[in-house]
Structure 1
Amino acid sequence: MAALAPPVAAIRVVVRRALNGLPPGGPVLVACSGGADSLALAAATAFVAPRLGRSAGLVTVDHGLQAGSAQRAEAVAVWAREVGFAPVEVARVEVAGRPGGPEAAAREARYQALTEAARQHGAAALLTGHTRDDQAETVLLALARGAGPRGLAGMPARRDLAGVPLLRPLLEISREQTRAACAALGLDTWQDPHNTDPSYARSRVRADLLPALVRALGPGVVDNLARTARLVAADNAALDGLAVAALAAARCADGGLSVAALAGLVPAVRGRVLHTWARELGALPAALSYGHVNALDALVTEWHGQGPVDLPGGIRVLRRAGRLAPVDPT
């Protein structure tokens, strides 16, 4: 009997670990583009899930952005049925007309389709093939944007996606391992041309910046960046817990926040309190920036009689009578 290739074994171990943490009932759905990362994840899930007494399905999304995308998606679906996935779904999405750049629009359309499929099939979780290399790229992009701790925490191994648990079992696995696993299993992989298109920032990080860092600092830089994300995520969780309690303690009866209570908080916690409160007021999350939160913080720490702070979504906040409160639009 031939020995199991180490990359195949490593991927099966992390998939088993992820699935073991799920409650019973409902299939797990793998999001699979046909690339090496998601195909290695799918192959491991097809092996592991039945041995844990759980069914596994697969969803492949056709963005319709490239010639032959429909045929590629159908080929993935045919393979999935052959190896025992059920259900298997090809989700075709419309990217044009969505807000943001093409990369953001495609991501929004993809996750919307995946979420809908997960709900339709009563999935216990949705699995995606993001690797350690993807995590390192995410940290570098966040650092370049000045995104702060939340950005530097990268992609969580598990998060809630509109009520569906989203799992990323391969964040401990390298892209090289997924390619080696596919080769060992004889799987034909698809190369997404968008991954090498220099018009996308992530593609430039992947093709130029990260390899340059590896050459300058050694191969351990990828793992170190991913480890940084894990460490920052743990710190964020602790600070977020403190912020929940601090927000409750700072609330006034009319829904405003006590300036005295806010002033007694350390900046890292106060910023999280103000960010959360701004979202509660209706500030649009995607548009709520560091500048907005900093302006709210100035009402507490640098008060000199300034006027209201304007937040995304037409929300205005002012300081009066020792508290922060939204301005009544009427």
Structure 2
Amino acid sequence: MAAEAPAPTAVVETAKRFLASFLRPTRILVAVSGGSDSTGLLLALNEAIEAAEPKRFSLAACTVDHALRPESAEEARGVAAFCASIDVPHLIMRWDGAKPSTGIQAAAREARYRLLADAAERFEAGCIVTGHTSDDQRETILMRMQRTQGPGASGMASAMLYDRRVWVLRPFLSLDRASIRAFLQTRDLSWFDDPSNANPTFERVRVRTELAQSPRVEEGAWDAGARAWSSARAAGFLTRQVRVHAGLVVEIPLALANRRDNVDWQRALLALVAVVGGRAHIPAADTVKRVAAFLQEATPGRMTAGRCVFDLRAGGLYLYREARGLATLTLAGGKTGTWDGRFHVHNGASTPISVAAEGRGGPQQQRLIAAGLPPGVAGRASLSAPKVLYGNGESVASVTIEPRIGLYDTFLPGFDRIMADRIAGLFGREPYPPPPVHDLLTEMER
């Protein structure tokens, strides 16, 4: 058996294998913070392209300045100088405006991907790559295990679609940070460490410390292939047995509603609950337990969880948004927004509009009854249907509304794409664009 490649060689070889996975030539935007992982990624890809693929690929780089520390602007300029030294075009994108007092890391993540996507469009890049490593993967798995209070939590996907706009790829998930730093040292390159990476206020830092003291996530504990196959099986349930009416009501046969023996169906059900409730995440563990108990009892009735009503009847299970917390959205002419996390609204008119809940007795209730839904279901579901209030006699045709798949429209893990496509189809949306590289789902779909 051949000895393992030295760390520096393994880093460049990983970059070469990554390039070989692309379906077509493209420009790659590298997200570079100045830390060791992203700096190593940029350098390894640059060397791999120069050695073997100069006509198929080109690189660009972007540094997001979150403007959270006084030193961040100077650090971004340092990255720009390094990129210039290796002839890689570079942009600095700054997160301007007020910062939230809580949830700063989540807000910074959302801002970072939005700015990176904007930079990708400016460079006409076919994808974004980030320097996430196996160390980051272990931390992510443990954080998700702790949040859900049990095993089976997913790790980061090697490919993630952002905002239906651009794929974010993570070619270094199989490498550890020590290997990347060893590679940089052979090139006499240094890096800087963000001090927030040592701030125990943040969950990831606490988990990193916990893993350093007592590793709890074994290699192989997370299997992306198994997750992809689970999503494909879940998509089968959705295609064969689930119906969605007007983007408002999910209808599930009674025999399927309580398939507690099937993990794939349970994942599909939780995904539907998130979409109906206008949420970006599946329900928490305690909510899942409440729902399971309700369905197991199999007694007709209603319960509310995750902003979603579970209406269990002899004819089946109906899911729809509960009629509370439905704020009004106001949009100026030409603007686009999201109402209740469930609908994209574009105001093509020249004057402002408002979107609010329809309420009882509106036209959507009659449409749902005409579609064959029980009148009680139709009446309650229509309470949370969107209604557009027009100004100055603007026509209905000037406004477009389409369902939003909150669980996937912003961040779609590549291993869930088959299930996401089925859910999108049920709600009348187009499939998500495939990634620019060969992946397991590409082979599964052939």
Segments of 5+ residues of structure 1 without an aligned counterpart are: 215-220
- Deviation of 1:188 after TM superposition, in Å, equals 2.0
Deviations 1:111-151 (A, max 9, x none): 1111221233221221111111111111221222226566x
Deviation at 1:266, TM superposition (A): 2.7
| Residue 237 of structure 2 is aligned to residue 246 of structure 1 | yes
Normalised by the length of structure 1, the TM-score is 0.85
Is the CA contact 1:299–1:306 (under 8 Å) kept in the aligned structure 2? no
Name 2:271's counterpart in structure 1.
276
1:61 to 60, 64, 72: 64
Match of 2:212 in 1: 211
Q: Does 1:317 align with 2:310?
A: yes
Counterpart secondary structure, 1:165: strand
Instruction: In structure 2, list runs of 5 or more residues that go unmatched.
Output: 321-379, 384-446
Displacement after TM superposition at 1:196 (Å)? 0.7
Equivalent residue number for residue 20 of structure 1: 20
SS of equivalent residue, structure 1 residue 40: helix
Q: In 2 relative to 1, CA 179–264 (structure 1 residues): closer, same or farther, beyond 3 Å?
A: closer
Does structure 2 retain, via aligned residues, the 8 Å contact 1:259–1:323?
Answer: yes
Structure 1 residues 1-330: aligned runs within 5 Å: 6-50=6-50, 51-52=52-53, 53=55, 54-86=57-89, 88-94=90-96, 96-98=98-100, 101-146=103-148, 152-162=153-163, 163-206=165-208, 208-213=209-214, 225-229=218-222, 231=223, 233-252=224-243, 255-264=250-259, 266-286=261-281, 288-312=283-307, 315-325=308-318, 326=320, 327-330=380-383
The two structures have a TM-score, normalised by structure 2, of 0.64
Judging by fraction of residues, say which structure has more strand. Answer: 2
| Aligned residue identity for 1:239 | S
Deviation by residue 1:44-69 (Cα, 9 ceiling, x = unmatched): 11111243121001111101111121
Asked if 1 retains the 8 angstrom alpha-carbon contact of 2:291 and 2:305, the reply is: no
Contact 1:95–1:106 under 8 Å retained in 2: no
* C-alpha separation in 2, matches of 1:106 and 1:253: 35
- d(CA) in 2 for partners of 1:80, 1:253: 50
Q: Distance in 2 between matches of 1:8 and 1:318?
A: 58
Paired residue secondary structure (1:55): strand
What's the Cα RMSD here?
A: 2.4
Counterpart for residue 432 of structure 2: none
Evaluate the alpha carbon distance shift between residue 253 and residue 130 of structure 1 in structure 2; reply closer, same or farther with a 3 A threshold. Answer: closer
Q: For the residues of structure 2 that align with 1:99 and 1:316, how far apart are their CA atoms?
A: 32
* 1:140-177 CA-partner distances (Å, limit 9, x unpaired): 21222226566x33111122222322111111111111
Kept in 2, the 8 Å contact 1:259–1:300? The answer is no
Deviation string, structure 1 residues 93-125 (Cα, Å, up to 9, x no partner): 137445951111111111111122123322122
Tell me, in whole angstroms, the C-alpha distance in 1 between the residues paired with 2:270 and 2:180.
Answer: 38
Q: Deviations over 1:242-270 (max 9, x none)?
A: 11111222225854111113345633123
In 1, distance between residues paired with 2:268 and 2:75? 46
Q: 1:58 to 1:279 in 2, by over 3 A?
A: same
User: Which amino acid in the other structure matches residue 279 of structure 2?
Assistant: L
1:28–1:213 distance in 2 versus 1, CA, 3 Å: same
Relative to 1, partners in 2 of residues 1:97 and 1:19: Cα closer, same or farther, differing over 3 Å?
A: same
Question: How many residues are paired up?
Answer: 311
Q: Deviations over 1:72-100 (max 9, x none)?
A: 101101110210213x1111113744595
Structure 1 moving runs of 4+ over 6 Å: none
AA aligned to 1:119 is: E
Q: What are the Cα deviations for residues 286-305 of structure 1, in whole angstroms up to 9, with x where unaligned?
A: 37333444444444322234
- Counterparts of 1:12 and 1:199, CA distance in 2: 35
Tell me the alpha carbon deviations over residues 192-241 of structure 1, each in whole angstroms, 9 at most, x when there is no partner.
Answer: 101111111211222x3122125xxxxxx7xx634212x2x222222211
> Which AA in structure 1 matches 2:21?
G
- Structure 1 residues 296 and 270: alpha-carbon distance in aligned structure 2, compared to 1, 3 A threshold: farther
2:166 partner letter: V
Mapped to 2, the partners of 1:292 and 1:78 lie a distance apart of 50
DSSP-derived class of the 1:169 partner: coil
Structure 2 letter corresponding to 1:72 = E
Quickly say closer, same or farther: Cα 1:197–1:253, change in 2 above 3 A: closer
Gap change, CA 1:263 and 1:41, over 3 Å in 2: same
Partners of 1:311 and 1:164 lie apart in 2 by: 29
Contact 2:299 2:312 in 1 (8 A): no
In structure 2, C-alpha distance between the alignment counterparts of 1:268 and 1:258, rounded to whole Å: 17
- Matched-pair identity in %: 29
Deviations 1:18-59 (A, max 9, x none): 121123243101111101111111111111124312100111
- Per-residue CA deviation, residues 289-329 of structure 1 (Å, 9 max, x unaligned), is 334444444443222344232433xx423112321113424
